[in-house]
Amino acid sequence: MSDTTRIQAGEKNTLVGASIIAGKPVIGNHGASHAVNPATNESLEPSYTLVDREQLREATREAKAAFASYSVTDLGTRAAFLETVADYLDALAEPLTERYVLESGLPRARAEGERGRTVNQLRMFANVVRQGDFIGARIDPAIPDRNPSRVDIRQRKVPLGPVAVFGASNFPLAFSTAGGDTASALAAGCPVVFKAHNAHPGVSELVGKAITDAVADHGLHPGVFSLVFGPGRIVGQALVADEAIKAVGFTGSRQGGLALVETAQSRPVPIPVYAEMSSTNPVFVLPGALKQNVDALAEEYIASVTGSSGQLCTQPGHVFVPATDDGNRFVEAVIRAVQEVDGKTMLTPGIADAWLEGTTQLSGQGGMNLLGRGEGGQTENAPAPVIFEADLASFVANPEMQIEVFGAASVVIRYGNFDELVESIAHLEGQLTTTLQMDVEDSEDLRAAADILPAVESLAGRILVNDWPTGVEVGHAMVHGGPFPATSDPRTTSVGSMAIERFLRPVAYQNLPAALLPDALKEENPWNLTRRVDGKLQPCEAGSQ
């Protein structure tokens, strides 16, 4: 049976190893690759053919062609489309879970939880679309009698155009094919060309088929979504350089993100790149927190460091602890806690190798000491978690100690006094999160927290108190972003409903005849939107949507 026949004969849940370009399976012309089960290092079938530049251009051309119609879809149609994708992913629960576990080495519970997060995220954006606030409708009515007079001016936000989205290695679902970048771009009215991560192509294909089916079900242009497999350095760079692409969503390494930013800024018409790249998520332990149960605090810390084998962008890589007797008790509890933890399978052999390289680099720095180590896991690519220790002066003086190690490794930094701690924050890179562990009933901790808060606001996009940064709620108030190098653009978020704003731009309409006004700005408000009229917020009519 030829490859083409095999694809046509395949059932919906049968993996065939082809890209999906504008609704059609495409056999790539640039070689092939296999996913690897990281727990065993065994190759997984089928092989995935990789597209060449011309096949990629077909995807971007189709996305450009789809933009004209998809960008003006009514809100109900667009919301229903997103809900259909969510429904199809729910129906794929078991095959998705099975393939997810094989390709990632992560447990079933993680797979099931991530699928739930993904479908809930899609439904959240469907609700955002139906409500319509993201359009940002504003109307300044004409005031002909004013001196100087004012003409009628109306504003709304419109989609940017086709978006390139890159799948992340550590979230095969939630930051992947139908993940936050794709969902928010589609919600904004932007077609998506999705570059799959080569570590989990099977999961990407299953989800890509679900999105493609939903596109067809709602009669949308097939170019609204394409899924491509290809070598990252070639296809990824070509995708960002393509003139049809108007924005980029990326989650991955600093090196990879910066390469895409450089390509995007080198284009004749530069485009925005929203890249989440590198964060060590510092935790500042104030003295009052150590007057309580240090064993529980240490166990929570180690659980946050080692969960998902430490392969979370919010893993606490640096924890600042007072150099006091109470701090010593905490450190001793950390040693006991980490010694009880076994290594878990990492996502790929390459990521496990990078973890080893990173921890070896850390251990070789002057003033860095190995504090504690767990046990190696029973599978392949499951190194023992490690915790290091350094004093604050050594840490501040040596930028190599501040590197992110992607995996189950963290550094405890001992500080002598609070002023020294506050001063050190200026030497830290931008972060996704910062955390304060404190006694909220202790007046000294409260004063210290008030003093440190302005510094950590400048440092990170999310500030936590008495919690741990791993675990990101998908909601309306969430910020998953931060100053460079946490992200390439700190003004927005990649998680939560505000993520839709990345793929929109404002347009003002001055003196436009009523017959030409878009529905969102018509006097009769046919979409029943909440709008700001002459500076005053006018809510939609309750129950009419």
Instruction: Give the C-alpha distances (Å, rounded to integers) separating 511 from 136, 269, 517.
Output: 19, 29, 10
CA dihedral 285, 289, 293, 295 (to 10 degrees): 0
Burial of 465 (0-12, 13-18, 19+ CB in 10 A): exposed
Report how far residue 402's alpha carbon sits from residue 282's, in angstroms, rounded to the nearest whole number.
10
- Enter the tokens of residue 357: 């390289």
- Rounded to a whole number of angstroms, the distance between the first and last alpha carbons of the chain is 52
Active site residue 313: yes
Q: Cα 484 vs. chain centroid, distance in angstroms?
A: 15
Report how far residue 510's alpha carbon sits from residue 155's, in angstroms, rounded to the nearest whole number.
9
Q: Which of 313, 389, 404, 429 is catalytic?
A: 313
Return the SS3 of 207.
helix
Q: Which of 276, 389, 404, 429 is catalytic?
A: 276
Return the SS3 of 235.
helix
CA-based angle 47:48:54, to the nearest 5? 145
Taking alpha carbons only, the member of 22, 86, 25 closest to residue 59 is 22
Residue with tokens 């077609």: 191
With residues binned 3-state (H G I as helix, E B as strand, rest as coil), the percentages for the chain, rounded to 5, are 45, 20, 35
Report how far residue 411's alpha carbon sits from residue 395's, in angstroms, rounded to the nearest whole number.
10
Residues labelled as active-site residues: 276, 313
